[in-house]
Amino acid sequence: MSERPRLTVLSGPSGVGKSTVVAHMRKEHPDVWLSVSATTRKPRPGEQHGVHYFFVTDEEMDKLIANGELLEWAEFAGNRYGTPRAAVLERLEKGEPVLLEIDLQGARQVRASMADARLVFLAPPSWEELVRRLTGRGTESPEVIERRLEAARTELAAEPEFDVTLVNTSVEDVARELLALMDVV
Ligand X SMILES: Nc1ncnc2c1ncn2[C@@H]1O[C@H](COP(=O)(O)OP(=O)(O)O)[C@@H](O)[C@H]1O
Q: Which is nearer to ligand X, 17 or 106 (CB)?
A: 17
Helix, coil or strand: residue 48? coil
- Residue 150: count of CB within 10 angstroms of its CB: 10
> How does strand 7-11 pair with strand 118-123?
parallel
27 is in an annotated binding site: no
Q: Identify the residue among 15, 82, 97, 106 touching ligand X (CB under 6 A).
A: 15
Q: Count CA within 13 A, CB hemisphere, residue 127.
A: 10
Q: What is the smallest separation between the CB atom of 175 and ligand X, expressed in angstroms?
A: 10
Quick check: 157 and 12 in contact, CB under 8 A?
no
CB of 44 to ligand GDP, least distance (A): 8
* 40 in contact with ligand X (CB under 6 A): no
Identify whether the C-beta of residue 162 lies closer than 8 Å to the C-beta of residue 120.
yes
Residues β-bridged to residue 154: none
Residue nearest to ligand X (CB): 17
Residue 37 binding: pick among ligand X, ligand GDP, none (C-beta 5-8 Å cut-off by kind): ligand GDP
108 binds ligand X (CB under 6 A): no
DSSP H or E segment with residue 101: strand 98-101
Shortest approach of ligand GDP to residue 66 CB, angstroms? 17
Among 137, 144, 147, 177, binds ligand X (CB under 6 A): 137
Is 19 annotated as ligand-binding?
A: yes
Residue 8's φ and ψ, nearest 5 degrees, are -110, 130
Is the CB of 18 or the CB of 24 nearer to ligand GDP? 18
Q: Is 171 in the site for ligand X (CB under 6 A)?
A: yes
Distance, CA of 9 to CA of 23 (rounded, Å): 15
**Site residues for ligand X per CB under 6 A:** 12, 14-20, 133, 136-137, 168-171
Task: Provide the annotated binding site for ATP.
Answer: 12-19
